[in-house]
Amino acid sequence: MTDIEEPKPDIFEKVFKITDNGTTVRTEVLSGLTTFMAMAYIVVLNPYILSGNGLGRNGLGSPELKNGIFLATCFSSAIASLTMGFLANKPYCLAPGMGLNTFTATTVVSIMTVSGMGYDDTFRAMLCVVLIEGIIFLLLSIFNIREKILDAIPRSIRYGISPSIGLMLINIGFGSNVTIFNSDGESFYVLRDFFGSLTANYIKDRMGDAYGEMVLSVLTMFVGIFFTIILAYKRIKGSVVIGMMISSIFYWVFDFIILEKNPFLSFKSDFLPKFGDLFGTTFFRFNFSGLFNFGWLAVITFIITFVMIDMFDTLGTTVGTAHRHENMIDKAGRIINIKEVFISDSIGTIVGSCLGTSTVTTYIESASGIEAGGRTGLTAVICALCFLFTIFLSPVTSIIPAPATSSALIYVGVLMGSSLKDVDFTDLSTCVPVIIMLITMPISGSIGHGIGLALISYSIIKVCVGESSDVPVVTYIISVIFIIKFFLTY
């Protein structure tokens, strides 16, 4: 009689430990799709911003540069997310960071005006700064310095990071994610202009022929929010994806029936990528000779700025999402495999600079996939595959209406407010820094800046009330660095 062999675990169990993390392959796939749909806007916005289109009416960079950045965005996001999935086994997805790309583009324009170089050459010189930043990040990660910085963040501020990110997501969803233009080229936003107007007639007169699109966008957002909430309440998996699809269909139907527009007008039939533009404009096209035109002080300032913002954006995202689920943190409250998470983030930045895009960082939209049930690196791998497919299906992504993505951002933002219950609001020395962070993070649009202001206020308050010994030395050091960054650099 022969012994019956035990069934061998499949590839997903071996690599991602699906069962140990309390999830399923189906849930991980849905979570990866959810995260991708929430952050897919970056494949459109990043090349638009980095090519200078957001800074000049007709754009400053060449069309070839814009297409090269598009391909670099897709490839770098895929490679970074794959690294995160296989190395850290975490459901965090990565892409070129919003905010940092705008800073990069405006800096390129500033340098371009004084150096005499063209936009394309100046942009390639700026990629050298991104490369140096990525290498510094990698070294900080390998030697566990980033972990020590994370440990220096007071517990109360850690509890406040997730709700602060949530408020920022809500602000993005209601505020900047949906932009409506009228025939005169004026831009309008849901929160500032529609809900911020004195009366409906007032904003209708101001917007003119764009008012109908604004109303449809607002309705689409709330259709997506309410359907997502109902589906989530009934514990239906993939509620965020389903909610986004329902709201998208709602928008397409009424855009055609009421506004008499073709909702698929932006659909393009050119599915064949122009890889030649990538190799000709950005792929390993570092302009180190042009970097010397920046001046050493400017280069050092840029590197410090990139490092500070990206480090705390990543810290905030990982802390804010991981602490919502017990299987992602250990008994001491630390994120499991945090070193691997940081290394993956660093590799993403290095790869992104080599391909031709600004700093690649861990995305706060990963929270949408985590809320959908994502617990392992398979979520990140699925998201990475979506980025690769987007290279060939970019016309399809262009027809997903912005209001549909806003509904997902707002819903996830609301969910992220729950950890505020752990903040001691009876102790002013701990709750005031959290409140400052809750306000400044969504207004500034930077996770790093919000955390920096919270740490500065925490350190100052503790010193003034005679509790300076309760503050770790590293916290003081970080606070001083942020003060220098805010007030003594440009």
DSSP string, 102-142: HHHHHHHHHHHHHH---HHHHHHHHHHHHHHHHHHHHHHHH
The residues, ordered by sequence, that sit 6+ positions from 487 with a Cβ below 8 Å of its Cβ are: none
Whether the pLDDT of residue 11 is over 80: the answer is yes
Report the DSSP beta bridge partners of residue 96: 360
Give the angle subtended at the CA of 451 by the CAs of 447 and 456, to the nearest 5°.
150
Region for residue 329 given its phi and psi (left: phi exceeds 0; alpha: psi -120 to 50; beta: otherwise): beta
pLDDT in tens, 439-453: 998 888 777 788 889
The mean predicted confidence, pLDDT, of the chain is 83
| DSSP letter (8 states) at residue 194 | I
- Taking the C-alpha atoms of residue 186 and residue 123, their distance in angstroms, rounded to an integer, is 29
Structure tokens at 245: 């699809």
Residue 89 lies in a domain: yes
Residue 31 lies in a domain: yes
- Taking the C-alpha atoms of residue 140 and residue 129, their distance in angstroms, rounded to an integer, is 17
What's the pLDDT band for 397 if we cut at 50, 70, 90? low
Q: Looking at residues 393-409, what average pLDDT do you find?
A: 75
Contact (Cβ atoms closer than 8 angstroms) between residue 100 and residue 348 = no
- Taking the C-alpha atoms of residue 446 and residue 313, their distance in angstroms, rounded to an integer, is 7
Structure tokens at 132: 């140096």
Burial class (CB in 10 A: 0-12, 13-18, 19+), 303: middle
Contact (Cβ atoms closer than 8 angstroms) between residue 70 and residue 284 = no
What's the pLDDT band for 245 if we cut at 50, 70, 90? confident
The residues, ordered by sequence, that sit 6+ positions from 183 with a Cβ below 8 Å of its Cβ are: 208, 209, 210
Q: Looking at residues 416-436, what average pLDDT do you find?
A: 87
Whether the pLDDT of residue 82 is over 60: the answer is yes
What's the pLDDT band for 6 if we cut at 50, 70, 90? very low
Which is more confident, 95 or 271? 95
- Taking the C-alpha atoms of residue 418 and residue 421, their distance in angstroms, rounded to an integer, is 6
| DSSP letter (8 states) at residue 261 | -
Least confident segment among 182-191, 214-223, 230-239, 474-483: 230-239
Contact (Cβ atoms closer than 8 angstroms) between residue 366 and residue 92 = yes
User: What are the angstrom distances between the C-alpha of 59 and each of 64, 138, 183?
Assistant: 12, 34, 20
pLDDT score recorded for residue 107: 78
User: What three-state secondary structure class fits 181?
Assistant: strand
Closest CA to 131 of 346, 280, 384, 446: 346
Residue 2 lies in a domain: no
pLDDT score recorded for residue 197: 83
pLDDT score recorded for residue 326: 59
Q: Which domain holds residue 355?
A: 11-487
Ramachandran angles phi, psi of 188, nearest 5°? -135, 150
pLDDT in tens, 263-321: 777 666 566 778 888 999 999 999 888 887 777 777 777 787 777 777 777 777 777 67
How many domains would you assign to the chain?
1
pLDDT score recorded for residue 214: 92
**What is the number of H-type helices and E-type strands within the chain?**
21, 4
Contact (Cβ atoms closer than 8 angstroms) between residue 79 and residue 362 = no
Contact (Cβ atoms closer than 8 angstroms) between residue 80 and residue 94 = yes
pLDDT in tens, 208-238: 888 999 999 999 999 999 998 998 888 776 6
Residue 5 lies in a domain: no
What's the pLDDT band for 438 if we cut at 50, 70, 90? very high
Residue 6 lies in a domain: no
What is the percentage of the chain residues whose pLDDT exceeds 90? 28
Contact (Cβ atoms closer than 8 angstroms) between residue 263 and residue 251 = yes
Which is more confident, 99 or 310? 310
Residue 197 lies in a domain: yes
The angle, 0 to 180 degrees and rounded to 10, between the axes of the packed helices 428-444 and 447-464 is 160
pLDDT score recorded for residue 328: 67
pLDDT in tens, 321-373: 766 565 666 666 667 788 888 899 999 999 999 999 998 988 878 888 888 88
Whether the pLDDT of residue 387 is over 90: the answer is yes
Burial class (CB in 10 A: 0-12, 13-18, 19+), 7: exposed
Whether the pLDDT of residue 436 is over 90: the answer is yes
pTM exceeding the 0.85 threshold for the entire prediction: no
pLDDT score recorded for residue 394: 63
The angle, 0 to 180 degrees and rounded to 10, between the axes of the packed helices 338-355 and 63-83 is 160
pLDDT in tens, 36-59: 987 877 887 788 778 876 544 445
- Taking the C-alpha atoms of residue 294 and residue 310, their distance in angstroms, rounded to an integer, is 21
Whether the pLDDT of residue 398 is over 90: the answer is no
Rg value, the chain, Cα: 23
The residues, ordered by sequence, that sit 6+ positions from 368 with a Cβ below 8 Å of its Cβ are: 34, 35, 38, 240, 408, 409, 412
Give the angle subtended at the CA of 462 by the CAs of 461 and 464, to the nearest 5°.
65
Whether the pLDDT of residue 73 is over 60: the answer is yes
- Taking the C-alpha atoms of residue 455 and residue 463, their distance in angstroms, rounded to an integer, is 12
Residue 3 lies in a domain: no
Residue 391 lies in a domain: yes
What is the percentage of the chain residues whose pLDDT exceeds 70? 89
Whether the pLDDT of residue 433 is over 80: the answer is yes
- Taking the C-alpha atoms of residue 276 and residue 114, their distance in angstroms, rounded to an integer, is 30
Whether the pLDDT of residue 390 is over 50: the answer is yes
With tokens 């297409």, the residue in question is: 67
User: What are the angstrom distances between the C-alpha of 353 and each of 74, 125, 129, 242?
Assistant: 13, 11, 9, 35
The angle, 0 to 180 degrees and rounded to 10, between the axes of the packed helices 211-233 and 239-257 is 150
Which is more confident, 111 or 285? 285
Whether the pLDDT of residue 190 is over 70: the answer is yes
Least confident segment among 60-69, 88-97, 129-138, 258-267: 258-267
Which is more confident, 144 or 427? 427
| DSSP letter (8 states) at residue 356 | T
